A and B are shown apart, each in its own frame.
Chain A
Amino acid sequence: MLAVSNLEVVYDDVVLVLRGVSLEVPDGKIVGLLGANGAGKTTLLRALSGLLDIHHGAVTRGQITLDGERIDHLDPQQVVARGISQVLEGRRVFGEFSVEENLRVGAHTRPKDRAANLERVYDLFPRLLERRTQAAGYLSGGEQQMLAMGRAMMSSPRYLLLDEPSLGLAPQLVGSIRDLISQINEQGTTVLLVEQNASMALSISDHGYVLETGRVVMDKPAQELLDDSDIQEFYLGLGAEGERSFRDVKHYKRRKRWLS
């Protein structure tokens, strides 16, 4: 199990962004982490992957453990080697590399399993096989998301961390990405799914957390979160004001601040 307890993260020694976050990612599950822009979701994933250093951030309190052993303070490559692989927000494919070169970089820590993992990734994403020699920069947004996920799978991860995979994708593509995530999970990879699209995330998650300005404000089985009236109103766009996505919450807050 991957577990975060009482995690506090500070950027530039002064900006406190995570204020004692605790969450658990039990093996075999999909855990959803929801929250508006700026809540600290990406920061939490950076802490998990050992990326805080390059952003001038640091864990100042609390800990991250993998099967009970502390893994905060590990280098990114040590984290990957322990089976925790992340897909960064915005997909970040290497645009001038071919699809297959992107996948090969993903296999850096597992050169021996490269052939087997390539086959597995191409099975999962046949579109990537069709385009394997094309420059990744020319793929559509949905295909780039598949490539980024496939690349992360090339290290045979136990845990896959996904940072807003639905960001900027058309609704029908969001559906297929969601199905692919649950397929990856069914094949045995545990998933921590960070999303602003709450309905997408909760529809496949076992458990959900809601993060607000660096604190976990809700922590419930996904089904209960779906039924929660606050979530429905603000995060699922089912409230009285009609369609509203998670992304609007920030605008909503900002408006309120200006009015007060």
Chain B
Amino acid sequence: MRDVLLTVVRGLGFGSVYALLAVSFVIIYKSSKVVSFAQPALMLAGAVLVSYLAGPVGFYLAVPLAAIAIAMLGWGLERTTIRPMIGRPVFVVAIITLGLDIAIRVVVNVFIGPDVRNVGDPWGLSTVDVLGLPVQERYIAMAVVLLVVGAGLFAFFRYSRYGLAMRASSLDQETALVQGVPVGSMTALAWAMAAGIAAVAGAFVGAGGGVDQSTWVIALKALPAIIIGGLDSIGGAVVGGLLVGLVESFFATYQGEYLPFLGQNFSLVSPYVLLLVVLLVRPYGLFGTREVERV
């Protein structure tokens, strides 16, 4: 029982980070109808920026500062490399984001160096006693940050003028334009928000273990998460991210014992098994819209 609960906690902890990353993919998808493969690099850049800022200003201030800086980078990327591609096939834009990802990582790697960089988080691997269970503090922090960012996004998209304008732009560009909504700026805003959220996720990916040049791979776990949740649903991305975290965590704990014939480290591919199962039952994901492709 104790093992099960600890497995769940770990799954929800990492799942929260995957959920944040998945949300960042979905925000871009909703505004540009493209999956941005630059998110891993932006996540890594955020984590590395936090690792440099945490010393002078402390982790808690470093995270929002890095988020703002990386958001500005996201805005700039959209304006300079994505905007001019309007009207090109989605495939072309996706390839451009892949190029951006590589370019950004080349620069960021210089700042990481060959070793693991500590992000300066206050938790490390220390635990706190919750109802008799030794729960790692960083998992609690990950879940809290997902709650805070999620609640903020919910309120933003539901009640704020710009949130509504962003949703309107993603539903019907021409109609949004005749309401006086600057649709192009809404797209840039989406890229900025997605970059900022990826940066926050990066800081928490690094919590406990630090970051190195290969940490970007973790962002790819958001891909099964968004497909499970449905590409155009933010709530779905959160659920998908948490599911991926849980499945991965359960395979990590129990697969060696119960399914040893699957070999070692099967937990790494387990999200894709989950993905397959979900898509067999629901081709548009758990929360996706049937007509994701709108004309």
Contacts and interface: CB of A to CB of B under 8 A. Distances in A.
Interface of A: 49-51, 54, 75-77, 80-81, 85-88, 92, 94-97, 101, 104-109, 111, 151-152, 154-155
- B: interface residue count bin: 10 to 19
Given A76-B180, A86-B178, A105 B173 contact: no
Nearest to B172: A92
B176 interface: yes
Contacts of B174: 51, 54, 88, 92
Contact of A101 (B164, B176, B182): B164
B173 A80 contact: no
A107 B167 CA distance: 15
B171 A77 contact: no
B63 interface: no
A85 B178 CA distance: 7
Interface string B73-117: 000000000000000000000000000000000000000000000
A77 B172 CA distance: 15
Contacts of A54: 173-174, 177
Contacts, number: 67
B175 A108 contact: no
A105 B169 CA distance: 10
A76 B177 contact: yes
Given A54-B173, A92-B172, A105 B178 contact: no
Interface of B: 161, 164-165, 167-168, 171-182
B177 A105 contact: no
A107 B181 CA distance: 9
A88 B165 contact: no
A111 B161 contact: yes
Contacts of A106: 179
A92 B175 contact: yes
10 contacts: A50-B177, A77-B181, A77-B182, A94-B167, A94-B168, A94-B172, A105-B176, A108-B165, A111-B161, A155-B179
A76 B180 CA distance: 6
Nearest to B165: A108
A79 to B, nearest CB: 8
A81 to B, nearest CB: 6
Contacts of B167: 94, 97
B176 to A, nearest CB: 7
B173 A76 contact: no
Contacts of A107: 161
